């Protein structure tokens, strides 16, 4: 059985003060959740968040990691720096990184391999644009994104990997893929992983989330779909009440 995983992606939101207020409210609200609950926070909030969620059921995540152990990479963050603060999960290859910061399938793959080597669990984002969806190329595109992101990852490591399928047209737009659309697209990704590794690996080890305007209203319908193992939540993760409702869909 694949345990559901709901992760908040705070993006470039929340100061330390905001973090304290949000987590103070969130911690009791999700204390009895069955799904694994993760908050992926900006670097400056990792220490505060880590101290606050110690001893709770909330896990700590970051929003990126560099592929080198250390060195001259101004503005980047290393796996050791994150691990030192108790980070367990890391988002890699979010479409905003791909779109605005030159992230490519190759750099995504390098970050994924480094995360796994160091013991961080990557949440790998894949997704198509509206144009790619409408023209029908999304299937081959998602298969290629998945294959390239996972190059060099072993089947033993697949249970530490989470893939987040996030159609770009649904992110922050209020426009969600229908539950059926999300389910069918995630099945395409899972079938690709079955082909690359084995059917059992894809079925039992790999968790695949949906992301893109997931909120308290649509969470239960999405989570009821057999292929959808969780959600990567942007906007709705910034309010304790909303996020807790998604976590407990
Ligand atoms: P959203 O963002 O929930 O605000 O659409 C999701 C994401 O970008 O991970």
Q: Torsions phi, psi of 186, nearest 5?
A: -65, -35
Question: At what angle are helices 138-149 and 179-196 packed, to 10 degrees?
Answer: 50
The residue to which tokens 């144009």 are assigned: 131
143 lines ligand 1 (CB under 6 A): no
> What is the phi-psi region of residue 102: left when phi exceeds 0, alpha when psi lies from -120 to 50, beta otherwise?
left
Tokens of 215: 């909120």
Per-residue pLDDT tens digits for 188-223: 999 999 999 999 999 999 999 999 999 999 999 999
Name the residue of 63, 171, 182, 209 to mutate for ligand 1: max ligand atoms within 8 A of Cβ: 171
Per-residue DSSP letter, 161: -
User: Does the pLDDT of residue 237 top 90, yes or no?
Assistant: yes
| CB crowding 225-236: b at 16 or more within 10 Å, else e | bebbbbbbbbbb
Q: For domain 5-247, give its CATH number from 2.60.120.330, 3.40.50.1370, 3.90.105.10, 3.20.20.70.
A: 3.20.20.70
Mean pLDDT value of segment 91-117: 98
235 lines ligand 1 (CB under 6 A): yes
- Give the catalytic positions in this structure: 94, 166
Ligand 1 center from residue 198 Cα (angstroms): 30
**In a 3-state reduction of DSSP, which class is residue 239?**
coil
CA 225 to the chain's CA centroid: 18
Mean pLDDT value of segment 164-185: 92
242 lines ligand 1 (CB under 6 A): no
177 lines ligand 1 (CB under 6 A): no
234 lines ligand 1 (CB under 6 A): yes
Across the chain, what does the average pLDDT equal?
A: 97
Domain assignments of the chain as residue spans, ordered by start: 5-247
Ligand 1 center from residue 96 Cα (angstroms): 10
* CB contact at 8 A, 70 and 83: no
Ligand 1 center from residue 17 Cα (angstroms): 22
Instruction: Tell me the β-bridge partners of 126.
Output: 165
Q: Is 60 exposed, middle or buried (0-12, 13-18, 19+ CB in 10 A)?
A: buried
pLDDT-derived band at 174 (thresholds 50, 70, 90) equals confident
Please state the pTM of the whole predicted model: 0.98
In Å, how far are 86, 90, 108, 228, 241 from 179, measured between CA atoms?
A: 34, 25, 27, 9, 23
């Amino acid at each position: 059985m694949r345990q559901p995983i709901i992760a908040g992606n705070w993006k470039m939101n929340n100061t330390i003060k905001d973090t304290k207020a949000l987590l103070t409210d969130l911690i009791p609200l999700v204390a009895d959740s069955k799904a694994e609950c993760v908050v992926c926070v900006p670097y400056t909030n990792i220490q505060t968040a880590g101290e606050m969620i110690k001893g709770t059921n909330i896990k700590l995540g970051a929003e990126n990691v560099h592929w080198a152990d250390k060195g001259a990479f101004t503005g980047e963050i290393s796996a050791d720096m994150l691990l030192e603060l108790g980070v367990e999960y890391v988002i890699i290859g979010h479409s905003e990184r791909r779109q605005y910061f030159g992230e490519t399938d190759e750099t995504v793959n390098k970050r994924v391999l480094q995360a796994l080597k160091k013991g961080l669990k990557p949440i790998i984002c894949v997704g198509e644009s509206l144009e790619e969806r409408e023209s029908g190329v999304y299937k081959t595109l998602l298969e290629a994104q998945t294959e390239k992101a996972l190059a060099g990852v072993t089947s033993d490591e697949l249970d530490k990997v989470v893939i987040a399928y996030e159609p770009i047209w649904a992110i922050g737009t209020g426009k969600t893929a229908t539950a059926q659309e999300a389910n069918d697209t995630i099945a395409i990704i899972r079938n690709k992983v079955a082909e690359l590794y084995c059917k059992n690996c894809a079925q039992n080890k790999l968790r695949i989330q949906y992301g893109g305007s997931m909120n308290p209203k649509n969470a239960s319908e999405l989570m009821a779909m057999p292929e959808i193992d969780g959600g990567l939540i942007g906007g709705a993760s910034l309010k304790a009440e909303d996020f807790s409702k998604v976590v407990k869909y």
